[in-house]
Amino acid sequence: MVHVVLAGADGREFTGGEGAFDVEATSVRRLILALDQRFPGFGDYVERRMAFAIDGVIHQDAYGAELAPDSEVCLIPKIGGG
């Protein structure tokens, strides 16, 4: 199971305040679908607003990124810059 962590308060309105949970997924796309199934609307929110730190490596908009069974995915706000 992939361990999902919400570092901040962003998105917790969808998760009932939960900040960490386990999800069955082998890719970012499947993770988004699983999150949406578990917390309706959350997958869409994650797609629009969040980046994925997969075992410490930050991915933005990366459906194909693979997840290992013991991966930790930290959801953080998407990052821009100047």
Q: Is residue 57 part of the contact set for other proteins (CB under 8 A)?
A: yes
Please say which residue, 69 or 82, places its beta carbon nearer to other proteins.
82
* CA dist., res. 36 & res. 48, Å (int): 13
Which one, of 57, 79, 77, 68, lies nearest residue 31 by Cα?
68
- Least distance in angstroms from the C-beta of 74 to other proteins: 4
Measured from the Cβ of residue 2, the count of other Cβ atoms closer than 10 Å reads 22
Strand, coil or helix: what is 44? Answer: helix
Q: Is residue 53 part of the contact set for other proteins (CB under 8 A)?
A: yes
Total residues binding other proteins (CB under 8 A): 27
* CA dist., res. 33 & res. 26, Å (int): 11
Residue from 8, 18, 26, 41 binding other proteins (CB under 8 A): 8
- Binding site residues, other proteins, CB under 8 A: 5, 7-10, 48-49, 53, 55-62, 65, 72, 74-82
